[in-house]
Amino acid sequence: MNGAADMGGMHGFGAVEPEPNEPAFHADWEKRIFALNNAAGMSDIWNLDTFRATRESIPPPEYLALSYYGLWVASLERLMVEFGVATAAEIAAGRSLQSTQPIGHKASAAETANFIVNGAPYDRPAKSPARFKVGDKVRARNIHPRTHTRLPRYVRGHVGVVVRLHGCHVFPDSHALGVGEDPQWLYAVRFDGSDLWGTDGDPTSKVSVDAFEPYLEPA
Amino acid sequence: MQLRVRALETILTEKGYVDPAALDVWVETYEQKVGPRNGAHVVAKAWSDPDYRKWLFEDATAAVESLGYGGSKGTNLVALENTPTVHNMVVCTLCSCYPWSVLGLPPVWYKSAPYRSRAVADPRGVLRDFGIELPKDTEIRVWDSTSEVRYLVVPVRPTGTEGWSEDRLADLVTRDSMIGTGLATQPEQAGK
């Protein structure tokens, strides 16, 4: 969706401000929401792509006013209501008002430690050969889905070159909708800065995105 | 925010969705155990061992796992080689994708609008915010992390470090140099 999250190329946000000796977290609540989202993400009720889709569907004025972990709080509140984990009244009350049978899996500390070490790979066996190869010219489709996509606006309609095949991966656009993994070939596609940004771009820059096959057409 | 988060934690715990001990594992791991020292070890090894370097650029996932750094947000890893003429820089314009297994959690600036909006359109301007000015003809390759593939930049090894041990080299490898918003520390600056 064309939400506030898709901000590549926007103006007006000011300078990047690095923080010397930055701590991992800046407040106790940041630690808690970080852990809660990751733990809830292991419950199999929603997935990483649902989480991202929920976060980017927060209305732009609210999205832009929230800090990064503030967005995680707003996303978890929405996901819990949407998936029937809690009611809006319970979230407002700050406690459970009705006892319900948990609908997902509760990950133990041992499972969590194991998950952190082993991860959850997103690559999948290919069911068909890749349509494109390294060196092929491809155009990023001019698509504007109202649902989750990982094709940023700033490359849509532009022609780039395939520089890498990443294999076949879970397709976020489908996965976020809860209709299965729908694995697709994934490519790194490189664009010239001058093509993307015209004379306002940097002619010495190249920008690549990881693009799933359905995002691309031959050029 | 403190109250809103406490509400969510209370509900999820009361209803049996999350185990408090598992929450502690998440916090402890990323606050204390996993951080850019992992990536610095990988880079220092690539600087000192040509076979490892070759392997890292061919199959970063396996090469990094061989050092014991696998897992969450690093299961499909790609290493990018900086040279005197090519400078790689990583961003996630859509959210905050970052190679947790080798760099830990991303800094606030990486997840913030100024970096996400400008890195793809004005990479040299962003580098100037970090005090970096690259030669005019250096090619800058920005990698927008829009999938579950994760990118690790291998900075150029500073001159004057011939014969240094891996441990000593690792001290020159800054987190920002592995994102591409910095360079490795020069030996004369080390320890300052």
What is the domain count for chain A?
2
The answer to whether residue B74 scores a pLDDT higher than 80 is no
Whether A115 contacts A108, CB under 8 Å: no
Assembly ipTM: 0.97
At B148 the three-state DSSP class reads coil
Q: Do A107 and B22 touch (CB under 8 A)?
A: yes
pLDDT-based confidence at residue A88 (cuts at 50, 70, 90): very high
- The residue type found at A49 is D
CATH number at residue A71: 1.10.472.20
Shared domain check, A148 and A207: yes
Within a domain: A81? yes
**CA distance linking residue B43 with residue B52, whole number of Å:** 10
pLDDT value at residue B191? 65
pLDDT value at residue A145? 97
What sign does the dihedral A197-A198-A200-A201 (CA atoms) show?
positive
Ordered by start, the domain boundaries in chain B are: 1-33, 35-187
Shared domain check, A150 and A88: no
The tens digit of pLDDT for each residue in B102-137 reads: 999 999 999 999 999 999 999 999 999 999 999 999
Within a domain: A12? no
Shared domain check, A189 and A158: yes
pLDDT-based confidence at residue A100 (cuts at 50, 70, 90): confident
> How do strand A205-212 and strand B139-144 relate by DSSP bridges?
parallel
Model confidence pTM above 0.90: yes
* Mean residue pLDDT across chain A: 95
The tens digit of pLDDT for each residue in B40-52 reads: 999 999 999 999 9
Q: Do B117 and A9 touch (CB under 8 A)?
A: yes
Report the residue from B14, B109, B114 with minimal CB separation from A95.
B14
* Mean residue pLDDT across chain B: 95
Shared domain check, A148 and A63: no
Kindly report the CATH number that applies to the domain delimited by B35-187.
3.90.330.10
> How do strand A159-169 and strand A137-140 relate by DSSP bridges?
antiparallel
CATH number at residue A136: 2.30.30.50
Catalytic center residues of B: 92, 95-97
Report the residue from B10, B94, B116 with minimal CB separation from A150.
B94
**CA distance linking residue A62 with residue A158, whole number of Å:** 30
- A91: Cβ contacts below 8 Å, ≥ 6 apart: A77, A80, A81, B7, B8, B11
- Residue from B18, B21, B128 nearest A85 by CA: B18
Shared domain check, A70 and A152: no
Domain around A151:
123-218
Q: Could you say which of A99, A118, A137 is where a domain stops? A: A118
Token output for B82: 């900086």
pLDDT value at residue B190? 79
Residue with more model confidence, B157 or B68: B157
pLDDT-based confidence at residue A120 (cuts at 50, 70, 90): confident
Instruction: Provide the percentage of residues in chain A whose pLDDT is more than 90.
Output: 91
**Alpha-helix residue ranges (DSSP H) falling in A28-96:** 28-41, 48-56, 60-65, 68-82, 88-93
pLDDT value at residue B73? 57
Buried b (16+ CB within 10 A) or exposed e, A27-55: eebbbbbbbbbbbbbbbebbbbbbbbbbb
Chain B residue with CA closest to A52: the answer is B95
pLDDT value at residue A103? 74
Q: Could you say which of A118, A140, A157 is where a domain stops? A: A118
Shared domain check, A90 and A76: yes
